[in-house]
Amino acid sequence: MNHKKELTYKDLSKFRRALMIFLSGAGSGIIYTPIYLKNVFYEPLLVGLNITNAQLGFLSGMYGIMATILYIPCGIVADKFRIRTLASVGFITTAFMTYWYAMLPSYNTLVLIFALMAVTTILIFWGCRYKLLRFSGSGDEYPVIVGISYALYGLGGLAINVVTLALFNTMPEYRIGVRMSLIFLGTVILILGIISYIFIPKFKGEVNTEANKKFNVNEFKEALRHPGAWLASLTLFFVMIVYMGMNFTTPFLTNVYAVPMVMVSIIGMIRYYGIAIIASPLMGGIAKKLNSPSKTIIIGMIGSAICIVSYLIMPKTAAFMMIAIVVTLVLGFIANGAYGIASSVLTETKVPPHIFGAATGMLSVIGFLPESFMHQVFGGFIDKYANEGFNYIFICLAASALIAIVFCLATLRYAKKQQQLQLEETNEQVS
């Protein structure tokens, strides 16, 4: 591969463009698997790591706190370094963190590992993930590309979890199973890092090469002043609450409708990974047809609100168990799709390419902020109010869906106003 010449997406073959989208999509589904392994191996991790439920929860909390801190600088880093460098280093360093994790060290060491994985997966990898998509096609193609990438995220996450689970089941005991599963994950992530270094080109215009512009905080200040960055960030914030809230449908089905644990696990895997394979590209296609991610998100949030309200009014009897399961899968489909295209609101509001990385960092800090507190808030509802706590959760989710709609409407108004101003400027120049 010739890494000296700077290229654009037009210079790349279809295979290479597809590989870029795969690395961003499926690669993201895989690189975060060790961090969220408890979604599949909850009990085995407790036994294998010899820790308590609270300690296992704190590991995720430590990662979430560090991630929130690093979302802003990750956008600046994404604007200042080559995508190839960040992607390959992000994958490879995460692989070595996973190998360290596989040694099943002490709890204090695990806390350090999860903090460091926030550095490798957020500071180094996160910003370049979206920028890689941005440079893999035109601005008009971006919503579709993002949708496809989230489908690949679901496919990658589903495939890696299925294979890891199969590998784990061949092991004689939990501790060995956890270790071998982590070694397998680390090896796959390492291979992705090598592929990234070999195949990702130097993109034209991906970094600011002027010496006096290195790490210029003015770029982030410019992103902060851009209304489009704020509208996209706040839209994602409330879409994220709805998306995250889906996770609590698992204990809801178990505790309220007495759905068997095996069935709930299958439903959870389908809801979190499987549905994304279809939902995200479909929503991306709709966004392209409507020429507006915001209009598509409005449709998704209306559908989500209907599903959520149905949880509140449905009788809590065994006769409605299958209906509750269907509603859960429908909600998963809609919310996954809306979440998958939420970041493309940045292009709808015409965020300039030179601050796109900084705007992505801002989008991530604000948009993903619920990850640092919603698990504790919603979990507190269940601890304090038992099954009644789910009603409070669903009220929060329904309200968040409605607020997301409000910000989408504001985005449409802003985009229309900007289009009119641009048209007026063009007419003046012609005159």
> Where does the pLDDT of residue 347 fall: very low under 50, low under 70, confident under 90, or very high at 90 and above?
confident
Q: Hey, what are 186's tokens? A: 């680390």
Task: Please compute the mean of the pLDDT values over residues 363-377 and round it to a whole number.
Answer: 80
Nearest Cα to Cα of residue 21 among 125, 129, 124:
129
Task: Please compute the mean of the pLDDT values over residues 260-268 and round it to a whole number.
Answer: 72
Q: Is residue 237 part of a domain?
A: yes
Q: Is residue 429 part of a domain?
A: no
> Where does the pLDDT of residue 401 fall: very low under 50, low under 70, confident under 90, or very high at 90 and above?
very high
Q: What is the reported pLDDT for 384?
A: 80
Radius of gyration of the chain (CA): 22
Whether 246 shows a pLDDT value over 80: the answer reads: yes
Q: What is the reported pLDDT for 227?
A: 85
Say yes or no: 269 and 335 in one domain.
yes
Average pLDDT, the chain: 84
In three-state secondary structure terms, 203 is strand
Say yes or no: 170 and 230 in one domain.
no
Are 204 and 4 within 8 A, CB to CB? no
Q: What is the reported pLDDT for 421?
A: 75
Say yes or no: 195 and 230 in one domain.
no
Domain enclosing residue 390, as ranges: 218-423
CA distance 153 to 6: 28
User: What phi and psi values does residue 397 have, to the nearest 5 degrees?
Assistant: -65, -45
List the CATH number of the domain containing 412: 1.20.1250.20
Are 199 and 19 within 8 A, CB to CB? yes
Nearest Cα to Cα of residue 119 among 155, 74, 88:
74
Q: Is residue 299 part of a domain?
A: yes
Are 172 and 287 within 8 A, CB to CB? no
Query: Count of domains in the chain?
Result: 2
- Per residue in 21-41, pLDDT tens? 899 888 988 999 999 887 667
Q: Is residue 213 part of a domain?
A: no
Say yes or no: 275 and 183 in one domain.
no
Q: Is residue 428 part of a domain?
A: no
Q: What is the reported pLDDT for 148?
A: 83
Say yes or no: 180 and 311 in one domain.
no
- Per residue in 415-431, pLDDT tens? 888 778 777 666 666 65
Say yes or no: 144 and 238 in one domain.
no
In three-state secondary structure terms, 216 is coil
Q: Hey, what are 372's tokens? A: 């640092």
345 alpha carbon, distance to own chain's centre: 15
Q: How far is CA 130 from CA 24, 31, 359, in A?
A: 7, 15, 11
Q: Hey, what are 112's tokens? A: 């350090």
Q: What is the reported pLDDT for 208?
A: 59
Diameter of the chain measured on Cα atoms: 80
Of 142, 175, 205, the position where a domain reaches its end is 205
CA distance 165 to 250: 19
Q: How far is CA 144 from CA 158, 188, 246, 285, in A?
A: 21, 27, 24, 6
The HSE-up count of residue 47 (CA atoms within 13 Å, CB side) is: 10
148 vs 30, higher pLDDT:
30
Percent of the chain with pLDDT over 90: 34
Q: What is the reported pLDDT for 181?
A: 92
State the sign of the Cα–Cα–Cα–Cα dihedral 25, 30, 33, 34.
Answer: negative
Say yes or no: 225 and 180 in one domain.
no
Say yes or no: 149 and 269 in one domain.
no
> Where does the pLDDT of residue 187 fall: very low under 50, low under 70, confident under 90, or very high at 90 and above?
very high
407 vs 289, higher pLDDT:
407
Whether 299 shows a pLDDT value over 90: the answer reads: yes
Q: Is residue 212 part of a domain?
A: no
Are 302 and 405 within 8 A, CB to CB? yes
Whether 214 shows a pLDDT value over 70: the answer reads: no
Whether 170 shows a pLDDT value over 90: the answer reads: no
CA distance 173 to 176: 6
DSSP assignment, residue 406?
H
Say yes or no: 248 and 396 in one domain.
yes
Say yes or no: 168 and 259 in one domain.
no
309 vs 419, higher pLDDT:
309
Residue whose pair of structure tokens reads 């002043």 in the numeric block: 225
User: What phi and psi values does residue 62 have, to the nearest 5 degrees?
Assistant: -60, -45
CA distance 144 to 271: 21
CA distance 122 to 73: 9
Q: What's at 18, amino acid-wise?
A: A
Of 180, 205, 230, the position where a domain reaches its end is 205
Are 301 and 151 within 8 A, CB to CB? no
Q: Is residue 2 part of a domain?
A: no
User: What phi and psi values does residue 6 have, to the nearest 5 degrees?
Assistant: -85, 135
Whether 8 shows a pLDDT value over 80: the answer reads: no
Residue whose pair of structure tokens reads 């800090």 in the numeric block: 365
Of 147, 182, 205, the position where a domain reaches its end is 205
Q: At what angle do helices 321-341 and 293-313 cross, to 10 degrees?
A: 160
Say yes or no: 161 and 15 in one domain.
yes
Are 381 and 389 within 8 A, CB to CB? yes
Say yes or no: 151 and 45 in one domain.
yes
Q: Is residue 250 part of a domain?
A: yes
Out of 2-16, 100-114, 247-261, 335-349, which region has the weakest mean confidence (pLDDT)?
2-16
Are 358 and 222 within 8 A, CB to CB? yes
Q: What is the reported pLDDT for 312?
A: 95
Task: Please compute the mean of the pLDDT values over residues 384-411 and round it to a whole number.
Answer: 94
